[in-house]
Structure formats: C-alpha cells, structure tokens
Amino acid sequence: MTTELYDKLGGEETIGKVVDYFYDLVLADDTVNHFFANTDMDKQRRHQTKFISFAIGGPNQYTGQSMAKVHTGMNLQPVHFDAIVKHLHDALEHFGVQEADINQALSTVATLRDDVINK
C-alpha cells in the first residue's frame, strides 16, 4: 500500500486525533472496555496511532509485537473484534473520512482478524 490513504487522512497528527476519539468510544463500551482496565492509555494511544498509521500506508514506525503475540491469552471473540472495528469506523467517520476510505482502512484491519481472535 502506498502512503496515499495515510496522506489523504492527514498523516499521523490526524490519525492521533482519530485514535483518541476511538478510545473514547472503546472505553465507553462495556463489550470491550474491560480489556483496557489495567492499560496505560496514554501509551496505548501513542502505540495505536503508530500502528494505524503504519497499517494504512504511513511510515514504518510500528515497532510493537505481532498481533497474534499481543493478543495471546485475551480470549477475544468475534463480538469483541467487531466492536473494535465498529468504533474505528465511527471514529474515522466522525472526522469526516469518506466511506470508501474508511472501507479501505478497515479492509486492512480485517486482515488481522485471525491473528487477534481466540488467542
């Protein structure tokens, strides 16, 4: 993937704003908020900004572990993954991202489903 979508969305600064709003939605959702009960959310937000930036074609600044390794032992189910995807969709939409671009970003996220669920 080129940097086209990353640049179109406004780069890491805008992605950071989307991530902040995304986590506001996540933390308000009882379906998934318990997974973050003991998480340093400032660190999580910075880390997720880098990950999403990388996932949509931005500079390779993501230095975290693989998705499978990070989610091992969490026993995430499809309902959890789907809730996260919905919140990411809603956060992107909130910032005026067009549906076609949201779908492109979420298609990248969808490739991670098997690495995240039931680990």
pLDDT at 108 over 90: no
pLDDT in tens, 35-93: 999 999 999 998 888 878 877 778 766 666 777 787 788 889 999 999 999 999 999 99
Q: Is 71 annotated as a binding residue?
A: yes
Handedness of CA 84, 77, 63, 111 (dihedral sign): negative
Handedness of CA 45, 97, 8, 65 (dihedral sign): positive
Domain boundaries, the chain: 4-116
Q: Is 47 annotated as a binding residue?
A: yes
Q: What is the mean pLDDT of the chain?
A: 87
Taking the model in full, what pTM does it have?
A: 0.86
* CB 27 within 8 Å of CB 33: yes
- For residue 117, give Cα distances in angstroms to 67, 70, 88: 10, 11, 17
- pLDDT interval class at 1 (50, 70, 90): very low
Q: What is the CATH number of domain 4-116?
A: 1.10.490.10
